[in-house]
Chains A and B, each alone.
Chain A
Amino acid sequence: MKGMPSHGSSIRLGCFSLAIFLSFLAATVAPAGPGAWLDQAAPAGWQLDLRPSAEVVGWAGDTPTPALLDFGEDAFLAPRFSLEAAVAAGDHWFGQATVRLDRGFDAGESPDGALRLDEAIVRWRPWADERLNVQIGKFPTVFGAWVGQHDFFDDPFLLPPLPYAQIIGINDRDPAALAPRALAARAGGEAPPVAALSKQNWASMIWGPSYAAGAALFGSVSTVDYAAEIKNASLSSHPDDWDSSLHDPALSLRLGWRPDAAWALGASASRGPYLSPGVAGRDDLLQSALGVDVRWAHHDWILSGEWIASEFESPAAGDLRAMGWFGQARWKAAPGLWLAGRAGLMTFGEARGLGGRDVEWTPDVWRLEAAAGWRLTPRLLAKASYSFTGSSSDGGGPDGHLFGLGLGWRL
């Protein structure tokens, strides 16, 4: 159905136009700007904030596209319009929602356009500081540290890090694809490799920021950060599953330590069902993940990295193990201008194939990235990136070059 206009897409585009209209209305309705208008509209003790933003990223490179990008062309234009609304009622209640209209959560997934509610939370803070927050809704995972900077304006890169953005050999729609025969066929080249198949049916070790729905407790006490969440989908789940019910929940934890402003260290763990809701055996097959993150920053430099190990239970091929890491550096060359580089690697263990023989269930994959960002004004940011993805596969792997050029504006 990809590329075919539909009645649904017309509705979505209509909603999109309405969202954009409302955004610009909010930006221009009052002579003093949107801030004054929102201040007048807010009840006493409340604070309202409305922030429209627009980004456009042009992609060009080899196919099949690496990461979670889902288009078949050599070049693809991915505009995205977002409207973020936030409300604070005193010091203790906070709400926030983000609606996006784009060509898919991962560029190319919905080429005709799709309107989504990506984030929607209600947060309660018993105290006015950060010692305890209770939150329900749809929000990024607490696992790892990258999610805290995944917005276009905060992330120096255009792609998420490798463990957060690479299809692996876990079919979350069809457990039969994890059977020894299927694994052996893919490993032997008798079946198409995962990289050549639709990304709709395959998982990532962690799917981007993982905006699954659920509840979380988190906070900071002195130099220690803590977070726990219970959600309706595991870290690897496809965005389509983030809106499901909380029937077989996934649990994630993170413990962080900031001994000094320069350093941030963290350890995360997660466990939950990785198959899509409705797939038989969902509650029996779990993804388990452990992660460690570190960040050091000083003046013009920020260095960070994460190491993640994950295990997927399979019906008959044993536990499918994977390990991934990335390290990145950002350096500010001038006011508003930065350069960044990143390296990432994912390696995969062996699974039980036909006759009990060990087979490689996903080829190892690595990625090198370089990026530059130029903040032209406080509201306008241009970013460029290049990445090369390589794999241990003899053919059909996600190998190739990818160029991206992005421009973002926000109120």
Chain B
Amino acid sequence: MDHLKKSVWHPHRQDQTFAVPLLDLPLVRRLFTWWILGSVTLPAAETGTLTGVVPLPARRTGRIAIEKYAGSISGKVGPAPPVVAAVWIEGPGLAAPAKPPRVSFSQKGYQFTRSLLVVPRGTVVEFPNEDPDYHNIFSLSRILRFDLGRYKKSETPPPSATFDRSGLVRLQCEIHEHMKALVRVVDSPHFTTSDPAGKFTLAGVPAGTYTLHAQADEKTLWRSTVTVLPRRLTPVTLAPASPAP
């Protein structure tokens, strides 16, 4: 089973690779079965899965996405992405990967493609523009101030920012005021986002006791102490917590 232990792939750990022994036909069959079933996590002996529901706040519609004065929108404004929550665990020995991934967070239809992105500390996030007009993403959040300036669709590489401090970063577009999004930077290798109903599944967590956090915005934060059992699905009940930085 050693080869299985080493090859556990955390869907949220983009720096890891999964080594499949070429001639291990039973394993290939199991992999195929899991892929067909939509599962992305291998049931390693010492990992378990957390699941629960984040009581997401009611979605606020925010600014009306219509130009007050003409000139900054050529196409059709898409619907705002649904509210989701960041979910992650913290505990002794857990830290963001030493070599964090590069992540893309695009803008399309004059909206961010998602309302919240969760990344491990140190991640470089690229912001490709998929609209015909300029975007100008910036953050004046305490933990990360940056301003990408005006950039267009064809720019290669897309402008990027390094999220090297954990906390919540609020993103805005200087040109299109209705565009807003959050990036939750976590100091952990185990994280995910909920679906729009608040449901989440955090798989591949090593057995042990941790603090599970969930956050939807600056004001809504939940926390719970959880014990992950090997090869078990552990339901989690979340309790409100004070906002963290």
Residues of A in contact with B (beta carbons under 8 Å apart): 32-33, 35-36, 38-39, 42, 47, 49, 86-88, 94, 96, 123, 128-130, 133, 140, 142, 145, 147-148, 218-220, 222-223, 225, 227, 256, 258, 260-262, 264, 297-302, 332, 334-336, 375-378
Contact = CB atoms under 8 A, between A and B. Distances in A.
B26 interface: no
A39 B70 contact: no
B70 A227 contact: yes
B140 interface: yes
A396 B70 CA distance: 40
From B67, B147, B152, residue with most partner A Cβ within 10 Å: B147
Contacts of B74: 130, 220, 222-223, 258
Contacts of B139: 335
Contact of A298 (B68, B73, B150): B150
Interface in B73-119: 73-76
B75 A336 contact: no
A225 B76 contact: no
A136 to B, nearest CB: 16
B57 A32 contact: yes
Contacts of A129: 75-76
B61 interface: yes
Interface in B47-82: 57-58, 60-64, 66-76
8 contacts: A88-B64, A96-B68, A129-B75, A130-B70, A145-B71, A147-B69, A300-B149, A335-B138
A286 B69 CA distance: 27
Interface residues of B, number: 36
Nearest to B70: A218
A376 B61 CA distance: 25
B46 interface: no
Contacts of B66: 88, 94, 123
Contacts of B170: 378
Given A261-B134, A335-B139, A130 B67 contact: yes
B195 interface: no
Given A123-B66, A260-B152, A261-B152, 13 more contacts: A49-B64, A86-B64, A96-B68, A128-B76, A130-B67, A219-B70, A222-B74, A256-B71, A261-B132, A262-B134, A262-B150, A302-B150, A378-B140
B150 A225 contact: no
Nearest to B180: A378
Nearest to A224: B74
B149 A148 contact: no
Nearest to B161: A335
A318 to B, nearest CB: 36
Contact of A140 (B58, B62, B69, B151): B69
B70 to A, nearest CB: 5
B63 A335 contact: no
B126 interface: no
Given A220-B73, A220-B74, A299 B150 contact: yes
A42 to B, nearest CB: 8
B141 to A, nearest CB: 9
Interface of B: 57-58, 60-64, 66-76, 132-134, 138-140, 145-153, 170, 172, 219
Contact of B152 (A123, A130, A262, A334): A262
Contacts of A94: 64, 66
Given A218-B70, A378-B170, A35 B146 contact: no
B70 A220 contact: yes
A366 to B, nearest CB: 28
A32 B217 CA distance: 12
Contacts, number: 101
Contacts of B69: 140, 147-148
B56 to A, nearest CB: 13
Nearest to B149: A299
From B57, B62, B134, B219, residue with most partner A Cβ within 10 Å: B134
Contact of B58 (A36, A227, A261, A298): A36
Nearest to A256: B71
Contacts of A299: 148-151
A336 B76 contact: no
A218 B70 CA distance: 8
A377 B148 CA distance: 16
Contacts of A225: 70-71
Nearest 7 CB-CB pairings of A with B: A299-B149, A35-B60, A261-B152, A129-B76, A335-B147, A335-B145, A148-B69
Nearest to A216: B70
Contacts of A264: 71
A375 B67 contact: no
Nearest to B62: A35
A134 to B, nearest CB: 13
Nearest to A254: B70
Contacts of B64: 47, 49, 86-88, 94
B62 to A, nearest CB: 6
Contacts of B61: 35, 38-39, 42, 47
Contacts of A335: 138-140, 145-147
Contacts of A142: 70
A50 to B, nearest CB: 11
Contacts of B133: 258, 261
Contacts of B172: 378
Given A47-B64, A336-B140, A378-B172, A261 B71 contact: no
Contacts of A148: 69-72
Contacts of A302: 150
A375 B140 contact: yes
From A147, A220, A300, residue with most partner B Cβ within 10 Å: A220
A39 B60 CA distance: 7
